[in-house]
A = this chain, B = another copy of it.
């Protein structure tokens, strides 16, 4: 059994109403792998960094059980860098700088012993690169989860649609679901998107929780009301990591189990936003995670018997 994670490992510089960071470690795959590692230990990472990337963070990933054989380190090149500034409501942000660097020519190579993963998490990346990973697998994974964003809808819609036809679960946010479907109602949007390939759709609504759809059912998971949200960066990736990590751990991809997985994903996201970058996802205990999940149970649990 294994979980393959594909996505960026990179630098971010973040400004929120609560403070400002220099270059810190970020990237979709960093958050996904860390969040998943609290549930599942056989994780392999596919990504690329420059020689400017800190070994300390790679050691952290290794310590969490993440295998880095698929991480290319490009000598003489720089890691992907993104800088952004969040508005006061933390729901919207401006991109201040994007330097593709090593990502510009990223040619993902799946190591021989990871060509048959049971679970595959395709973090946000160019749809073509996501396809290149899929093409190298020698057996279809039991579950393929894809995260993407509006940027690829604007610039690579044909490639994105092709990728969508190859996956099982899509995770996007509410405005992306509206853009992809052309429908304002998320219920209608979900049905249109489920016709594009995915069997399951997760619509992430940030502080307003997340919706899980298949063709027949819908489930809603709240976000935890927090006193302080310092930095929303990586929340969606942490959510995806907790989601697929829990599914990989339990080896159960039923809709019922995906409901539980969404709660675990939401719990991991709720940690991430409490500090800048990946800081809060490092060094959590099993008890921390369980206590946090219990807060979600308490938040929405009510007892109505109609019969």
Report A's interface with B, CB cutoff 8 A: 88-89, 184-188, 205, 208-209, 211, 217-222, 225-229, 256, 259-260, 263, 290, 293-294, 297-300, 302-304, 306
B205 close to A225 (CB less than 8 A): no
A226 pairs with B185, CB closer than 8 A: yes
* Of A88, A208, A293, A298, most B-chain CB atoms within 10 Å: A208
Contacts of A89 in B (CB 8 A): 184
Chain A, interface SS category: mixed
Chain B contacts for A263, CB-based, 8 A: 302, 304
List the 7 closest pairs (A to B, CB-CB), nearest first.
Answer: A208-B208, A259-B302, A220-B222, A187-B227, A187-B225, A290-B306, A220-B299
Q: Which residues of B contact A304 (CB under 8 A)?
A: 260, 263, 293, 297
Q: How many copies does the complex hold?
A: 2
Given contacts A185-B227, A221-B300, A259-B303, 16 further A-B contacts (CB under 8 A): A186-B225, A187-B226, A188-B227, A208-B208, A208-B209, A209-B222, A211-B225, A217-B298, A218-B299, A219-B300, A220-B222, A256-B302, A260-B303, A294-B306, A297-B304, A300-B300
